[in-house]
Chain A
Amino acid sequence: MKPALTRRQFLQGCSAAIAAMSGAKLTNLAFAKQDNPSDTLVVVFLRGGWDALNVVPPMDGDDRGFYEKARPDIKIQNLLRLNDQFGLHPAMSPLYDLYQQGKAGVIHAVGLNYDTRSHFDAQEYIELGTPGAKNTASGWITRHLQATGISSILPVVSTSGQPTSVLNFVPTVSLSTPDEFSLWDNGLRDSHTNALRTMYAGESLVHRAGLRTLDALDIVRPLTGGEYQPSNGAYYNDDDFGRQLKTVAQMIKLDAGLRVAAVDFGGWDTHEYQNDHDGGYMADLLNSLASGLANFYLDLDSGYTNKLSVVVISEFGRRLVQNESYGTDHGHGSVMLTLGGSVNGGQVFGQFPGLQNDQLYDRADLAITTDYRSVLSELLAKRMGNADIESVFPGFSQGYNPLGIYQ
C-alpha cells in the first residue's frame, strides 16, 4: 500500500522537480529524516534586563522582609504561589497553568556570572557564550549546530534580525513574517527562479548561498498570503511578540527540520515608574510574555510539544533597592524560564542566595548561584543531542552542574 504523501514530501518533491527541470544539482536540497532527531529549541531573549525580583519575588520569610523594605513602592503582592518560598507575578497567570501541569519551570538566581552591568556587554557575552571574550567568531547556537551537524534546509530562523547567538551561522533565515520572506513578483517570478537555479548551480559559497535561498523560498512560500489558523483555539496577541511566536509556530509545523528559533522581546529596561497605573507597563510586558508563551504551547500541543523546548533569558536582573523614580537600575542575578513537553516543570530550580546585604552581589544585586550556561548545557545534553559542552561553551564544562530541569 502506498503511504499517503505528507506535506513535507510534497514540498520536497516540488523542489526536486524544479531543480531537475533546470538541471541544478540536488546537493542543497536537504531534508533529512522524517523526525527531528532532537527538540526544536526556541530561545526568547528579553532585551533590557528584566526585573527578575518582581517576576518571581520571595513570598515568605526573611527574604520577603528584605524585599518589601527595599521596594516599598514597587513590591508585588497577590502572588501566584510557586512553592513555599516564591510566588509568580499575577500578570503571568496565563503561564501559571502550565507551571502547575509540570510543563513550565523557573530557575532563580541564574545569570551571566561576569562583572558587567552594561546591556551591550552582557547580551553579547551571553549570546556568544564566552563571558569576558568579545572576539569570539561565532554564537553559542552556531557552535552547537556546528558540533551536531545540520541536516535540514531551514535549520534556524530568527524573527528579529541576526542575533549574536547565531553569529556567523550562514543558513540562518531571518524573517519577521513568512510574507516578508518572498521574492518580489513582477509577474515573471517562476521564470526568474528557474533561471536562478541554473545560474547558482555551482560549488562556491556564493552559489551555495543562492541555492539555499531558493530552497528556503520554496519552503516558506506555501505560508505566504493566507491566514494562519492556530490549533486548539490558540490565539496570538497582535503585538510584536505574538507575531514572532506565530511565525515560529508556522515554521515548526512545516516539518522542514527547524532546529532553533531565536525570538527577541524588548522593553524591559524599567528605570522609571515600572508599576504605575494598575501594575504598569511591567505588568503589560509580563502579560504579553505569559500569554504569548501559553498560546504558543497550546498551538503546538497538536503533536509538537514533546519535541519542543523554550527558554526565556534576559541579560541581567535589576537592583534590589528601587530607585528614586519608582523603577530599578541594572543589576545582576536573574530568572530564567523553561517550557516544553520534557521539562520537569512545576518547580523552582537553583539555590537562592538570600537578599540580606551580605548575601548580595556587590552589596546591591541578587547574586548568581547558577551560571546560565549550566541551564543551556543541560538542555543541549538532554534535549538537543549534544553532550559536548566544551564545544559550545569553551572552558565551561568543569563548571557544568545539571539541576535536573529536563527529562
Chain B
Amino acid sequence: MQTRKLTRRDFLKLSGTFAATSALAACAPGEETPTAAPFESTGQSPVIQPEAQTQLPPVPMAILALSRLTFGIRPGDVDAFNALGSSDDERLLNFINQQLNPDTLDDSDFENRYNNAGFETLYKSHEQIYADHIASNPYDSNDDAYWEWYSKPAYELADATVLRAVHSKKQLVELLADFWHNHFNVYFWQDDGVPLLASYNRDVLRTHMLGNFRQMLEAVAKHPSMLYYLNQNNSSDAGPNENFARELFELHTLGAENYLGVRDPNSVEKDANGIAIGYVDNDVYEAARCFTGWRIDDDLGDWEDGIEKTGNFLYYKPWHDRFNKLVLGRYIPADQEDLKDGYDVLDLLASHPGTARHIARKLCRRFISDVPPESLVQAAADTFLQYKDAPDQLKRVMETILLSAEFKASWGGKVKRPFEAAMSMMRALNSDFTRIPGGVHWMLGLMGQALFERRPPDGYPDMREAWANSMSLLFEWNFAVGLTENWLDDDDTGYKIRSDVMAQTPAEIRSASSLADYWIQRILNRSLPEASRNAVVAVMAQEYGWDETLTEEHVQYVLPAMIEVILMSPDFQWR
C-alpha cells in the first residue's frame, strides 16, 4: 500500500490550532524548555520476561468469549451470543459447541464472498497443484510468469485466510488453523514446494485440527511441504539429515522442555512403560535413521530410476537405514516392514506424557494466557492422553480448556498480535472486500507477522513481549488509518477494502461526545477510562464544543480520525 495520499481534510490541519502544534512551536531553539528527567532503570527489563496476566476491570462473558475465540467482535456478535442461553455458562457452552462443530453454522455470507473471489487454484487436489504449478511449470528464475504461476496457490491461500478470518462465522477453527500452522510451521518461501502450502493447510492441518494428534502428526511428516522445509527429502542411510527429526522432538511433540541434552541415553530415567522421560541427542540421531527414505516422488529431471513426478509422499526403500535403532529407550529391530520404523517413532512421541503437556501448554497459552495456570495445563494434558486414540481427541482437549474455570477468569491474559489486531479492525468496522489488496500482506510484513512467513520452524511467538516493539505497533496504527480512510486499494488488480463508517453512524448522533460514546461502545463494547474517553471526544470536537451539534461536513472529515484513535487505543489491544 504505497499510496499515502493526503486528503481534502488537510485544510483542517491548517485551520485548527492543536495542542501539539503549539507545543512544538513553543520550543524554538533559544527558549527555555522543560527537560525530561534522565532515564533511570526501574528494574523494568527491556528484555522478554513474561508479564503476568494484566489486572483489568472484569468484562461480561460475551466480550471475553468473543474476543478470545474469534478474530474480534463484529457488530451484532454480542447480541447473538447473549441470545444463546439464559446464563453465562449456558451461553458459553452453546457458543463453544457451535464453534467446535462448525458444520452446524450457516456461513453463507462468507461462502458467497469466497465463491466470488476468483480463486483459481484452491480447489485443486495436491497432485493437481504439483502437476500444474511445479511439474508443468519449469523453473525459470527470470520469468515473471513462472513466479506468478508458481506462487499462486500459496498467495490465494493467504488471501483466503484473511477472508475467512474476517468474514467466516467459523471463527474458532480459523484460530486453530492459525495455531496449528505455527505449531507445525512451514515457511511460505521454502524452496521447491511453495505452491504445496495450499494442500498442506487444507489436507493436513484443517483436516485434523479437531481430530487425532497422532494422525495429524503422520500427515505432517508425510506432506511434501514439511519434507522439503526440514530437509527430510534428502535424508538417506548414507547421509541422514537430522533436521526434521530434531524439530519433531523439539517443536512438534516433546518440546525443548523435555530435552535432557547431550547424555548417554542409557542414563535417562524411564517411566513405568520403560519409555525415557525425556530425550537426548542420541534419540534425535536414531529417529533420523528411522525416517531415512521418507521423501517425495519428485524426480523432475528424470535422473532416478523408479521415481516419478507425482509430488506425493514416497517411501524409498533403497535410502532406508535397515538396521536396529534405539529411540526413547525403545528397541526398534532391524528390517521391519516398510515405514514401520518411522511409525514407531511417531507412536512413541504422540503418546508420551511430555508431548501431552507440551501441546496442552501451547494451546492454553493461545486461549488462556501467556503464562497459563499449570492446573489447566495438566487437565488438558490428561484429556490428551486419555483420548489419545479417539478420533476427536483434539476437540476434547479444546473443550477441557475452554469450559474451564480458568478460562472464565482469564481476561487480561492475552494481547492481540499484529495479525489479530488487523483482522479485528476489519471486523469492528464491518469492512467490505472479497479479495484483499496485496498491500495488506506488505503491511502485515512491516508489523512483523506476514501470513505463513515465519522463517524459523518454531512459528510466530505467542507472548506479548515479542510484539511490543515500535514497528509492529506503528504499522498496526497505520493499518487503522489506511483502513478507516479507505486508502487500502490495489490499482493493478482493482482489489480494495471499503469501510463506510458514515453509513454505520445514526444520523441523529451529531455531537462530539455522543459520536465518541457511540463508537467507543460500538468497537469496544464497553466504556473507556475517563481520560481516554475525553481524548477521543477531543479528537472528534477539534475546535468545536463537545456537546454542540457538528456540521455534516465536519463529521464527514473528522469521524474516521476519531474511529482510528479508538482502533489505535491500548484498550483495543486486549483480547
Contacts and interface: CB of A to CB of B under 8 A. Distances in A.
A352 to B, nearest CB: 31
A191 B36 contact: no
A209 to B, nearest CB: 4
Interface stretch (B62-70, B193-201, B211-219, B533-541): B533-541
A305 B96 CA distance: 62
A380 B4 CA distance: 42
B284 to A, nearest CB: 12
A191 B34 contact: no
A157 to B, nearest CB: 10
Interface in B439-464: 446, 448, 455-456, 464
A261 B535 CA distance: 36
Contact of A15 (B36, B471, B542): B36
B145 interface: no
Counting chain B residues whose Cβ lies within 8 A of the other chain, the interface size class is: 35 or more
Interface in A168-206: 168-175, 180-181, 183-196, 198-202, 204-206
Contacts of B45: 146
Interface stretch (A27-35, A56-64, A236-244, A340-348): A27-35
A192 B565 contact: yes
Interface string B37-69: 111011011111001001000000000000000
11 contacts: A5-B33, A17-B24, A33-B38, A184-B478, A186-B6, A187-B11, A192-B539, A198-B532, A199-B528, A200-B570, A206-B574
Contacts of B27: 10, 13-14, 17
B474 A188 contact: no
B471 A173 contact: yes
B272 interface: no
Interface string A113-135: 00000101000100000000011
Interface of A: 4-5, 9-10, 12-23, 26-27, 29-33, 118, 120, 124, 134-135, 137-138, 142-143, 145-146, 149-153, 155, 161-162, 168-175, 180-181, 183-196, 198-202, 204-210, 212-213, 216-217
B39 A151 contact: yes
B570 A174 contact: no
B46 A195 contact: no
A168 B465 contact: yes
A78 B140 CA distance: 36
A146 B12 CA distance: 45
Given A22-B535, A152-B39, 7 more contacts: A14-B24, A29-B39, A184-B481, A186-B561, A195-B565, A199-B565, A206-B464
Contacts of A216: 470
B26 interface: yes
Contacts of A153: 39
B38 A32 contact: yes
Given A150-B46, A192-B539, A193-B20, A17 B51 contact: no
A191 B531 CA distance: 15
B35 A213 contact: no
Given A170-B47, A170-B465, A188-B9, A195 B24 contact: no
Contacts of A213: 470, 473-474, 477
Interface-centre pick from B446, B470, B558, B561 (highest chain A CB count, 10 A): B470
Given A186-B564, A194-B535, A21 B468 contact: no
Given A171-B46, A199-B535, A190 B18 contact: yes
B21 A190 contact: yes
A407 B334 CA distance: 61
Interface-centre pick from B21, B33, B536, B542 (highest chain A CB count, 10 A): B33
Contact of A162 (B24, B39, B469): B469
B256 A135 contact: yes
Given A150-B46, A188-B13, A16 B36 contact: yes
A21 B19 contact: yes
Nearest to A201: B531
A188 B23 contact: no
A194 B19 contact: yes
Nearest to A31: B36
B569 interface: yes
B415 interface: yes
Contact of A170 (B19, B33, B48, B474): B48
Nearest to B29: A5
B466 interface: yes
Contacts of B16: 191
Contacts of A146: 45-47
A173 B475 CA distance: 12
Contacts of B560: 186
Nearest to B461: A168
B39 A207 contact: no
B468 A9 contact: no
A169 B531 contact: no
B72 interface: no
Nearest to A217: B474
A106 to B, nearest CB: 31
B34 A16 contact: yes
Contacts of A9: 33, 35
Given A14-B23, A170-B48, A202-B570, A191 B561 contact: yes
Given A146-B45, A188-B9, A207-B570, A199 B532 contact: yes
A170 B20 contact: no
B382 interface: no
A181 B48 contact: no
A125 to B, nearest CB: 12
B174 interface: no
A192 B468 contact: no
B160 interface: no
B469 A172 contact: yes
B250 interface: yes
Given A149-B41, A192-B539, A175 B471 contact: yes
B482 interface: yes
B30 interface: yes
A210 B33 contact: no
Contacts of A134: 250
B312 interface: no
B19 A31 contact: no
A273 to B, nearest CB: 14
Nearest to B532: A199
A185 B10 CA distance: 9
A17 B33 contact: yes
Nearest to A14: B27
Given A181-B474, A198-B531, A190 B35 contact: no
B349 interface: no
B572 to A, nearest CB: 10
Contacts of B468: 170, 205-206, 208-209
Given A21-B20, A186-B560, A13 B33 contact: yes
A171 B37 contact: no
Interface in B223-244: 243
Nearest 10 CB-CB pairings of A with B: A13-B33, A30-B39, A168-B48, A209-B468, A29-B36, A190-B20, A195-B535, A198-B535, A17-B23, A213-B470
A90 B489 CA distance: 48
B573 A206 contact: yes
Interface string B300-337: 00000000000000000000000000000000000000
B473 A209 contact: yes
B464 A187 contact: no
B565 A196 contact: yes
Nearest to A10: B29
Nearest to A155: B46
B357 to A, nearest CB: 17
B568 interface: yes
Contacts of A200: 570
Nearest to B542: A191
Given A12-B36, A173-B470, A181-B474, A187 B47 contact: no
A23 B570 contact: no
A175 B54 CA distance: 30
A199 B473 CA distance: 14
B7 interface: yes
Contacts of A18: 19-20, 23-24
